[in-house]
Structure 1
Amino acid sequence: MSRRNIKEEIIEDLYSEALVLADDARAAFDLRFREDAGSSDDLTRVALSIEGLRTTTRLMHVLAWLLNQRAFLAGELSEQQLERCGTLPDESEADADNLARLEPETCALIEESVRLYARVARLHRDPHTNSATDTSVASLQGRIAQAFAAG
């Protein structure tokens, strides 16, 4: 499998994972449907709102970055457009005091979003991920391989 295909697989897998996690986060932080929302104290509801906003923002940044990568790999964005629009903003870390007020399942969901962000951030820092050079080199290698196979 070529490097480009591996990159596409990684991007697609991360994108699917991010979509599922975003849906889980929406369900976890939607106060309208939480059974314990009325019985929670004000500080717990505020902590849930703050960490919900941080988590969903983190996931939306991840999804935006992954969508830009998918568009670039599909040829829908140029390298210059990707450089201009494809940056991953710095992460807003969870607050330990807020986490102490939340249920373990909610904290696990937040931690999962942090781990996903860290994985995507590693890809973002990789100079080969955001470059058309990979594609050009792979294309040239393919043409060389075809030339020697035909001869």
Structure 2
Amino acid sequence: MARMVDLNARIIESLYIEGLMLSDEVRAAFDLTPGAANDTRNDGDTARIAFSCEALRTTTRMMHSVAWLINHRAYFRQEISEFQLRRYGRISPSLPDAAPDRLALLPPAVQELIRATERFYARLVRLDAGWRDRAPRTGETSAIQRLRERLVHAVG
């Protein structure tokens, strides 16, 4: 099994730029202003509803992604502590993916964009899980480890 690379400022910055670019593509794809390239008003009610539902789901996914990345950027810029990041910088592992029946009603380019946001979000979920599971930095002991050590000394 490959060793997970620990998060660092360069990785977060790269993901942040990728996330902003993807968010901009999502905004353009789901633009509902009159005359927009993806205007679905003539595609029937079912397609419009599917478009609206997936627009909401996709933009929510990207908002969560960018928020997670902003928290990590703040941590690496020493604007928040690791405690604050661990407490408030979680990413939800349970955001739902696009509904296949609705996805089929959308143009192929929009379908691919939605899948790209799902892949991006899944990467962030894996990174977050790996970061949270990692051992404390060298020289640091967790509160649980310190408690265990005190118990061992008290008992034995």
**How high is the TM-score relative to the length of structure 2?**
0.77
The 1:40–1:131 alpha-carbon spacing in structure 2 relative to 1, beyond 3 Å, is farther
- Aligned counterparts of 2:15 and 2:59: Cα–Cα separation in 1: 16
What code does the residue aligned with 1:45 have?
R
More helix by share: 1
- Aligned counterparts of 2:116 and 2:38: Cα–Cα separation in 1: 23
> Is residue 44 from structure 1 mapped to residue 47 from structure 2 by the alignment?
yes
Moved over 2 A (4+): 34-38, 127-134
Gaps of 5+ in 1: 138-151
Match of 2:152 in 1: none
> Is residue 82 from structure 1 mapped to residue 90 from structure 2 by the alignment?
no
Match of 1:103 in 2: 107
- Aligned counterparts of 2:124 and 2:110: Cα–Cα separation in 1: 21
- Aligned counterparts of 1:83 and 1:110: Cα–Cα separation in 2: 28
- Aligned counterparts of 2:135 and 2:60: Cα–Cα separation in 1: 26
Larger RCO: 1 or 2 (CA < 8 Å, sep 6+): 1
Match of 1:122 in 2: 126
Match of 2:18 in 1: 17
The percentage of aligned residue pairs carrying the same residue is 42
The 1:57–1:9 alpha-carbon spacing in structure 2 relative to 1, beyond 3 Å, is same
- Aligned counterparts of 2:68 and 2:133: Cα–Cα separation in 1: 11
> Is residue 31 from structure 1 mapped to residue 35 from structure 2 by the alignment?
no
- Aligned counterparts of 1:56 and 1:7: Cα–Cα separation in 2: 26
Number of residue pairs aligned between Structure 1 and Structure 2: 133
Gaps of 5+ in 2: 141-156
- Aligned counterparts of 2:136 and 2:63: Cα–Cα separation in 1: 25
What code does the residue aligned with 1:95 have?
A
The 1:131–1:81 alpha-carbon spacing in structure 2 relative to 1, beyond 3 Å, is farther
Given that 2:31 and 2:38 are in contact with CA atoms closer than 8 Å, whether structure 1 keeps it comes out as no
What is the CA-CA distance between 1:35 and the residue it aligns to? 5.3
- Aligned counterparts of 1:130 and 1:48: Cα–Cα separation in 2: 39
Q: 1:61-108 CA deviation, whole Å, 9 max, x = no partner?
A: 010001000101111111221122100012221100100100000000
